[in-house]
Structure 1
């Protein structure tokens, strides 16, 4: 479905790697007939991935880090910078994944704002954004009441039959993505360290005891660990040294997941992406959320919290062909719709 409405200017504010990948195909399709401005912030996880994916972003402001005052200060400064740039661009519509700055600027400049979200657990962001949006698009497995409590009318919440990781999983692998080198006969166990700088994050580090237990039990396999921030990478190196391979550069997750034997994640987007790719996936559920619960219920993800339970599950998964998991994953992925036509329909409805 192409978007052939009258000529429009559309602003996308993209804050995270997930958002970059989720919006990628939508932006390409919209650009065929309209002018699109894609803004982001100075945040290594996004800017490096944008280079890999060959996406052009206008960088405005920076990531606020972990501390509350720094988050507040960065957000206010970014809003101020954006207000000038967006006033000049003068878009007909804003699309974001619940960007607080996009919400505030769009509201102040009377620009219609459509948001996507699958994260009602991110309460701080929801409180800042949801009361100001015109339409909210969400996965069908999340009840509308999870968002209406933040101030949006139920009639303005629109379901689409997909989880966001499905959109990301169906993307083509970039020609700039490097495949991990796989040594003969060694299985690759990939661990994704938890988010620790988001407003909803716990300050605990559940991945570290898990990694320690994996090293103890699987020293003959290749243990690869993905950090999110330079502070995490530094701490991983200090704690585990050369017992693990630390990925200190941004990679396209799909390339990586297609070459691993087991994935252990915190329960977020990459956990869901891994599951939908048919990779044997374990969640240590650092951030409880509805998407992870759904995938556990559908037997695409194993939820294990203790390091010992996780290592037992890894052993079972490594010793099995896991054909059932692969078949379930393919069936689920094939059943998921593309939310782009729903975005187009929503845009047309609010621009009448």
Structure 2
């Protein structure tokens, strides 16, 4: 049996993002293979969905380690994908550095999803090699500005497909609109959360090349929240060092791999120094504060303009917003899910 579609997952949220597409591929009888990178909780999350996959490569925090690991992953993926039974008709990924190189080298048409225009290193390594680029409208606008300001050309902007939403709409719909993987109504019980108190979720800064050397604001936020609000606090660290720091606080929950989308569904406030969980919460209508320490991404500006998120790194402003808005559900804005667009482009590349 031949493979129609190759999907490469390199970050934890990718399994949520591609889940709806995978369901559609299954419904239409298209054969697919999934490869993954060993990174944070990605493999555990794939197992929650029950998909078969093969893992290659892992993350590194050093520049030399990133280069070596990526080069090795390209070699491993090339050997795996070039097998006759695995050679796909089209390859799809979101911010995978390796898939574009392998698909280009093996002459496989590729579809690439991008929602971080500031990840310059990754974008330089991938965008010149891909066939189709899909972006949220907020990213497309910023990518155009970036190319002009740096006098570089990643991609012909006339060929960039955009959608009026964010990738996190697909993440949320993977659970809220799925009979196969519905929201877990037992999540609060499993975490031993006091349902008489509001729930505040916190997420630390990305451990990525585009966000290094920034101080962690979360410990100060935790201390102030305990002082000013009676609430449950659930903190998601990215590193073992962060986990050790957060775990020293009494009465907060520092989970390992859990169903974070289900937790956000029942949460009353989201405060994050990252991106994906902030945007997932905002899409759900949860009051959301982004304390992302770098230049705000186009997708975050887009949601801020929609009134579903605010951005500040000022501790006083964060706390004032939390106190005022905790438990006040935001209006859920109608945003486009990119799944159908991805599926249409897959069909086009396959000549269907």
Tell me which interval the TM-score lies in, with the shorter structure as reference length. Answer: 0.7 to 0.9
SS at match of 2:254: strand
1:303 equivalent in structure 2: 311
Residue 232 of structure 1 deviates from its aligned partner by 1.9
CA distance in 2, matches of 1:206, 1:83: 41
Unmatched runs of 5 consecutive residues or more in structure 2? none
2:120 corresponds to? 123
Q: Is the counterpart of residue 226 in structure 1 residue 236 in structure 2?
A: yes
Structure 1 residue 21, shift from structure 2 partner: 0.6
Instruction: Give 1:184-195 correspondences, 5 Å limit.
Output: 184-195=195-206
Select 1:207's aligned residue among 218, 239, 264: 218
Instruction: List 4+ stretches of structure 1 deviating above 6 A.
Output: none
On the 8 A contact 2:138/2:301 being kept in 1, the answer is: no
Preserved contact between residue 215 and residue 243 of structure 1 (Cα < 8 Å):
no
What secondary structure, in the 3-state scheme, does the structure 1 residue paired with 2:250 have?
helix
Tell me, in whole angstroms, the C-alpha distance in 1 between the residues paired with 2:16 and 2:71: 26
2:212 partner SS? coil
Cα distance in 2 for partners of 1:214, 1:163 equals 30
Change (3 A) 1:340 1:83: same
The reply to whether residue 9 of structure 1 matches residue 7 of structure 2 is no
Q: Which runs of 5+ in 1 are unaligned?
A: 1-6
User: Which of residues 151, 161, 185 is equivalent to 1:158?
Assistant: 161
Q: SS of the counterpart of 2:98?
A: helix
SS in 1 for 2:134: strand
* Match among 56, 64, 79 for residue 60 of structure 1: 56
RMSD across aligned C-alpha pairs, in angstroms? 2.1
1:236-270: per-residue Cα shift (whole Å, max 9, x none)?
A: 22xx33242212x1122221112222111125111
Deviates more, 1:273-282 or 1:164-173: 164-173
What secondary structure, in the 3-state scheme, does the structure 2 residue paired with 1:60 have? strand
State the number of aligned residues.
Answer: 331
Structure 2 partner of 1:286 = 293
Match of 1:4 in 2: none
User: What pairs with 1:33-52 in structure 2 (closer than 5 Å)?
Assistant: 33-52=29-48
Give the TM-score of the pair, scaled to structure 2. 0.87
| TM-score normalised according to structure 1 size | 0.87
Q: In the TM superposition, what are the counterparts of 1:1-352 in structure 2 within 5 Å? A: 9-32=4-27, 33-64=29-60, 66-88=61-83, 89-142=86-139, 143=141, 145-146=144-145, 149-172=152-175, 174=181, 177=184, 178-180=186-188, 181-196=192-207, 198-204=208-214, 205-218=216-229, 220-237=230-247, 240-247=248-255, 249-287=256-294, 288-318=296-326, 322-323=328-329, 325=330, 328-329=331-332, 332=333, 335-352=334-351
Could you tell me how far apart the structure 1 residues matched to 2:37 and 2:340 are?
28
Distance 1:100 1:184, change over 3 A: closer
Conserved? CA contact 2:12–2:40, under 8 Å: no
User: Cα gap change, 1:301/1:86 in structure 2, threshold over 3 Å: closer, same or farther?
Assistant: same
Partner Cα separation in structure 1 for residue 302 and residue 252 of structure 2 = 31
CA distance in structure 1 between the aligned counterparts of 2:15 and 2:119, rounded to whole angstroms:
19
